[in-house]
Amino acid sequence: MKKWWMFSICIVLIVAAAVPVRAAAASHPLFVHVIVAFQQQVDEQAVTTLQGNVTKRFDVIPAVAATVPITAVELLRRWPGVDYVQQDTTVAIDRQVIDWGVEKTKASVMHPQGVTGKGVKIAILDTGVDPSHPDLRVAGGVCLLSSCPHSYQDDNGHGTHVAGIIAAKDNEIGTVGVAPDASIYAVKVLDRYGEGNVSAVLSGIEWAIEHDIDIINLSLAAPEDAPALKAAIQKAYESGVLVVAAAGNNGYANGAGDTVEYPAKYDSAIAVAAVNKENVRLPYSATGPAIEVAAPGEDVYSTVPVALDRDGVRDGYTRMSGTSMAAPFVSGVLALYKQQYPERTNLELRQMLRGRALDLGAAGKDPWYGYGLVQAVSNQAPELTVKLLSVKKGEVAFSVTPTGNAVKGYRVYRNGKRLETLQTAATYTDYVVKGIYEYEFASIRNDGTESALSAPITVNVPDPDYKDLSASAWYMPEIVYLSSQGIVSGYNNGTIQPYQTITRAEVAVMLGRALHLDGTKRATVFRDVSSSDFASGYIQAAYEHGLIAGYPDGTFRPQQPITRAETAIMLSRAYPLPDGSSMMFKDVTTRVTGHEAIAKLAAARITEGYPDGTFRPYQFVKRLEFFVFTARAANERFR
């Protein structure tokens, strides 16, 4: 197709050069469908000036679908602001090479536990879905073809079969999907013949992003790269969407070569290969380095519209084979993950998919099976031994011991949310307010994959119980750490008041407690701090240790709020911090008092300043800010 297209361009250009200009303009040029991508902003005039017509403007990337004279394609490519022009090529379902799969992926183990994909939104970009099928519950959808007489109704059967694999209802009829309670959306981008254009798929991805879809299933393939499609899938992935794609059915029986098709070949998509009941690759399943996981793909029993059921039993169910059937198994399993761990990002869920996979073929990731057969629950033995050591004043301590040689560290999850990227210490300590928490640990192998999670450990933490400190607050661990060390005690009414400004006297008390200074009330060198003042002992001790100097008029001004610059000065005197550059922040110059101390805080990763690149040295400090700064200065675990 590509060679023919280029040949046609050459013929037209030669003929155009041989006739008068007026005659050429009066002729009817051959039009082609293209996608025009722009470097920054869409310029529709680039198309219309060359006698073209814009048929669709995309929001997901700066591009349009258009029909243009074939003679204008090269001019359009050179138009100022145009990034590239590609032919709007055809994508199609992988033809069938014509349910054990749910059990094979261990999805059935999760259903009795209430893990059924509930609340997870999956867009099926395909031939549509039959909304009247009794075994399917379609949450909504759209048809993005040029003609949709029956909306997103499936007039091919392929999309309905894919939908059943993902979410056929658990209703004692027909079959059960991997995630029977997931919300499926029918996005019709392929026609009754299972074919469509890249522009329709682009529109489908755009629709999915706009409708906050969690997972996109692409059981379709094209042999050629389409840069606009790649950019759209990347945009979806960056938006937090998981994109699952069939690897294609054009593999060789001997498994040689790189035969993965697009869009599965893109890094932002999860490329899925197909296996049979014996966990053996299907002879036609595509192979190559892009293969990420494998899934059941042979003789899969699922739903089809009754009118299109041609297997001899018109009951709305049939068997199909191919990587098109394998991809929805992965989409369904990801829906189970998403329900279990709603706080995890799409990157984390993708990592879990790899880590839980049952290794097949050559050890480790290989071009036939990727990381292995997709699994809803890992059948691998945990590679960590985790024990709860103690719970005291909000400090929760665990011992963590690797049980495999391939383990380089571990990650920690609290109530399903990841706390740490990589830990290597034999003891892990968390700091939380009063509540009940569930901890899980996952080993990180040398190849970067995440293993099966350890068995959940439920921990009941009785204190501290600060009324205005939530367990979801980003600064909660730092405050609880200071509380466990006796540095912070809160107010008599049971609050911590994190958003109140902190006074100079309160700072002196906190630093004095942190450094174990003598806090006995006594006379001070400052004329505005009497021996009866609650902070007098710590203020005098801080002065004697060179942490504070007071003002030239002999006062300390204990009730005055402390500034960010003053905080930096006190912390840099109290803790050994590395030197840093005074030019870290655009509002901190050598003329700013405390600029060297501010640079030290930045060099020690105690502060990164504000998003606009400022530090705001003269701004008063809230209590939570001082708590966080102090915790980071005292304990590198918080940096």
- For residue 346, the tally of other CB atoms under 10 A from its CB is 21
Say how far apart CA 178 and CA 335 lie, in whole Å: 9
| Pairing mode, strands 300-303 and 317-320 | antiparallel
Phi, psi of 179 (to 5 degrees): -130, 75
Superfamily of domain 100-356: Peptidase S8/S53 domain (3.40.50.200)
For domain 384-461, give its CATH number from 3.20.20.70, 2.60.40.10, 2.60.120.260, 3.30.70.2860: 2.60.40.10
What does the pLDDT look like over 509-551, one tens digit per residue?
999 999 999 999 999 999 999 999 999 999 999 999 999 988 9
Q: Kindly report the average pLDDT of the chain as a whole number.
A: 90
Q: Which of 82, 7, 21, 17 is nearest to 52 (CA)?
A: 82
What's the pLDDT band for 476 if we cut at 50, 70, 90? Answer: very high
Say how far apart CA 558 and CA 518 lie, in whole Å: 18
Token look-up 């569930």 returns 438
What's the pLDDT band for 16 if we cut at 50, 70, 90? Answer: very low
Extents of the domains making up the chain: 2-88, 100-356, 384-461, 476-638
Instruction: Identify the pLDDT of residue 91.
Output: 76
pTM as predicted: 0.64
Say how far apart CA 512 and CA 509 lie, in whole Å: 5
| Pairing mode, strands 31-38 and 82-87 | antiparallel
pLDDT exceeding 70 applies to what percent of the chain? 93
For domain 2-88, say whether CATH 3.20.20.140 is its number.
no
What does the pLDDT look like over 268-283, one tens digit per residue?
999 999 999 999 999 9
| Tokens encoding 265 | 């070949």
Say how far apart CA 190 and CA 462 lie, in whole Å: 57
Q: Which of 586, 621, 620, 579 is nearest to 602 (CA)?
A: 579
What's the pLDDT band for 581 if we cut at 50, 70, 90? Answer: confident
94 vs 615, higher pLDDT = 615
Residues with a known catalytic role: 126, 158, 324
Instruction: Identify the pLDDT of residue 450.
Output: 72
Average pLDDT over residues 223-237: 94
Q: Which of 633, 630, 637 is nearest to 488 (CA)?
A: 630
Instruction: Identify the pLDDT of residue 29.
Output: 57
| Tokens encoding 395 | 């400090």
For residue 95, pLDDT beyond 70: no
Average pLDDT over residues 217-228: 93
What's the pLDDT band for 294 if we cut at 50, 70, 90? Answer: very high
Instruction: Identify the pLDDT of residue 94.
Output: 59
Average pLDDT over residues 57-85: 92
